[in-house]
Structure 1
Amino acid sequence: MALTLNIVTCSTRPGRIGPSIAQWFLEYAREHSAFDCRLVDLVDFELPVYNEANHPKSGIYEHEHTRHWAASVNSADAFVFVLPEYNFCPPPSFVNALNYVYTEWNYKPCGFVSYGGAAGGVRAALLARQLVTTLKMMPMVEGVMVPMAWNQIDDNQVFHSNELIDPSATGLLVELEKWAKGLKSMR
């Protein structure tokens, strides 16, 4: 039975380029890994700023959007978060999505495909790695950073990788698979 990898587009703002990068990573992961890969877009869940009355650890969810999100998170064995850097941080939509559920994240590995200006979103990914550890997730050291990402998207909104980005994507997928297999027994 294949492990499931959710590739999560974390930016929700109009005009975002995250879906193009996430689509590239989905295709790359399908070709270079043993994961059953799924594309997940935070926009589709319409999560307001956290609005559940009970603590996420309780697993008691009042709202349909939370139950829908919890089911999506629970269904995966591993995650890749495709996220931009906003003011040296991950986007608020990513932080909000993390906060909605708790046990559904536990003992699952994750990686980051970050994008932005010259730093390629690396500062956002560093902070995101810290955040996920509080959910008992295992962030990978390996990651993909895409500097000046908008320069690699064509007129049809297709992201084009290069010889610097592809090896880091392969490294991330190799490590994610090892950790996903190991952590599955803990769940």
Structure 2
Amino acid sequence: MSRPRIGIVIGSTRKARFADKPAQWIFDLAAAHGDFEVEMVDLRDYPLPFFEEDRSPAWGPSEGEVAQAWQKKVASLDGYIFTVAEYNRGPTAVLKNALDYAYTEWNAKPAAFVGYGGVGAARAVEQLRLHAVELQMAPIRSGVHILMADFVALMQGQAKLGEIAHLEDGAKAMLDQFAWWAKALKAARDADVAQAKAA
């Protein structure tokens, strides 16, 4: 079985976003982990309008070209690690919108989260776990939460990701758990495909 291909999904598109730092950090750690092929997926590259399709992608094909390109990208991946900012106790609108623009493409794949901000985006991550379940993903238990003290130190250049031991430990635990789920779910999906071809 080939290694699972996972996407590091940058969950913010703001000009002055912080998201690039944790995205690159977790990308490098995931690439070094050895169990994955890793790809950066930037929502800036998929300028989706606020959801305006006639029907949910759960019930029929999307018409918009950007939506179709986004669905193709989501389908090409075996799992997702999302960077998560928290706005008003919830995830960014652009990330929620991107989730809504696909359905079957997310199914039976693991999801993990790297949150940052006041409470490490814990409240936004909890909401995203619910969305992931509805999209038939498997959100894993372990995540990374960059709390305010570390977040401020990183923003002010007083610290660097890769030098904060408890975040490194948290990321390793998350990636180990994520690897198990990514491989198990990929094997199950591959078995379903083989069975369907043999029928």
Same-fold status (TM-score > 0.5): yes
> Structure 1: any 5+ residue segments left out of the alignment?
none
Aligned-residue offset at 1:153: 4.3
How far apart, in 1, do the equivalents of 2:34 and 2:105 lie? 23
Aligned partners of 1:186, 1:55: CA distance in 2, in Å?
A: 26
CA positional deviation for 1:152: 1.4
Residue of structure 2 equivalent to 1:18: 19
Report deviation, 1:33: 3.6
Quick check: 1:143 aligned with 2:147?
A: no
Written as runs of structure 1 = structure 2, the 5 A alignment for 1:33-72 is 33-72=34-73
What SS does structure 2 have at the residue aligned with 1:160? coil
Q: For the structure 1 residues 59 and 171, does the alpha-carbon distance in structure 2 shift closer, same or farther, using more than 3 Å as the test? A: farther
Cα separation, 1, equivalents of 2:152 and 2:53: 36
Within 2, Cα distance between the matches of 1:159 and 1:97? 29
Conserved 8 A contact 1:20-1:159 = no
* Counterpart for residue 152 of structure 1: 154
From the CA coordinates, give the structure whose radius of gyration is larger. Answer: 2
Q: Deviations over 1:121-147 (max 9, x none)?
A: 111111111111000000010000111
Structure 2-normalised TM-score? 0.87
> Contact conserved, 2:3 with 2:183, CA < 8 A, in 1?
no
Asked whether the 8 Å contact 1:142–1:171 carries over to 2, the reply is yes
SS in 1 for 2:55: coil
Identity of aligned residues (%): 36
Could you tell me which amino acid in structure 1 is paired with residue 7 of structure 2? N
Q: Which amino acid aligns with 1:180?
A: A
**Higher deviation after alignment, 100-109 or 123-132:** 123-132
Q: Give the Å deviation of 1:49.
A: 0.2
TM-score by length of 1: 0.92
Paired with 2:60 and 2:27, the residues of 1 have a C-alpha distance of 30
Structure 1 runs, 4 residues or longer, greater than 4 Å off: none
The superposition leaves residues 139-160 of structure 1 with CA deviations (integer Å, 9 ceiling, x where unpaired) of 01000011132421466xx952
Corresponding residue for residue 124 of structure 1: 124
Contact 1:18/1:82 (8 A) holds in 2: yes
**Number of positions where the alignment pairs a residue of Structure 1 with one of Structure 2:** 184
Long gaps (5+) in structure 2? 190-199
Contact 1:45 1:65 in 2 (8 A): yes
